[in-house]
Structure 1
């Protein structure tokens, strides 16, 4: 994916809280499309190899959650975290991270990730097919800016992190707002 590319149209199978449902699991299935998340909005999307993994849970997700106000101040409407995990896992991870500002998107089958060209095999870690780590600024379903970690490859021996960090994405947004120097 590169700047100017249109996001693929897919359906995400999500679980959403429904107060009408009693019991310990008050959620119902709700399908959401790419348009539901991205149409008419400027958002930051970041995708990572897996919920509950160290870099994702310690740095990337908390960084976007804690920096939410800074992103909103730069004209971002929402921040989404995506992973090739099902909705149950993503919801539990969001709960364990005390998320209130970043929304999670489950790409359980990896369809969106595959169509983005970011699906990689991580069998070397026992993960199976997962997302390569990246971030993007998406404006009305079109990639405005792309931040892909180096070394995209199946069974990569490392998990590069830096290009897709909250700090890097925020720096792009701040610099983009600066007037051009003559």
Structure 2
């Protein structure tokens, strides 16, 4: 995607906790749209190849989670983590990571990821179709800044990480806000 592009309108099939359901798995299906997540907010969206994978679980997701207050101080309302995983997997990963600040978005069918041009094959790892790693600052559904890891390709031999890191995105926000204040 490019700066100034509007995010595609898609429907995400999520599972939300609902005690009225009862039983050991009190969740119900709830469809959410791009507008539900992005309308009227300035957010950081970051996407990664898969829940529970090493770089995602060790650096990227924890960095955004721990840095939430710093992002909020720079005018960010929400931080979203998106992956081509279903809602069951994303919810369990959020639970395992102890998330309190970052919200997960399941793109189980890869529709959003495909429409933003980031759907890649990872058959070399047995993953199938997944998201290339990227981050974006999105203001009211419009891309304000785009941070894409280099080398976008199917079956890439590596998993580049750095351009989409929390530190890079936060640095960009701080620089923009400093320029606007001057």
Give your verdict on TM over 0.5: yes
Quote the Cα distance in structure 1 between the aligned partners of 2:34 and 2:53. 25
* Residues 31 and 181 (structure 1), Cα distance of their counterparts in 2 relative to 1, 3 Å cut: closer
- Counterpart position of 2:123: 123
- Counterpart position of 1:28: 28
1:60 offset after TM fit, Å? 0.1
1:107 offset after TM fit, Å? 0.0
- Counterpart position of 1:81: 81
Quote the Cα distance in structure 1 between the aligned partners of 2:145 and 2:8. 16
- Counterpart position of 2:2: 2
- Counterpart position of 2:17: 17
- Counterpart position of 2:91: 91
Aligned length: 182
Quote the Cα distance in structure 2 between the aligned partners of 1:97 and 1:141. 27
1:179 offset after TM fit, Å? 3.1
1:181 offset after TM fit, Å? 10
SS in 2 for 1:20: helix
Quote the Cα distance in structure 2 between the aligned partners of 1:178 and 1:96. 36
- Counterpart position of 2:51: 51
- Counterpart position of 1:113: 113
Moved beyond 6 Å, runs of 4+: none
Quote the Cα distance in structure 2 between the aligned partners of 1:95 and 1:172. 29
TM-score norm. by structure 1 comes to 0.98
Quote the Cα distance in structure 1 between the aligned partners of 2:111 and 2:81. 15
Root mean square deviation of aligned Cα: 1.1
> Unaligned stretches of 5+ in structure 1?
none
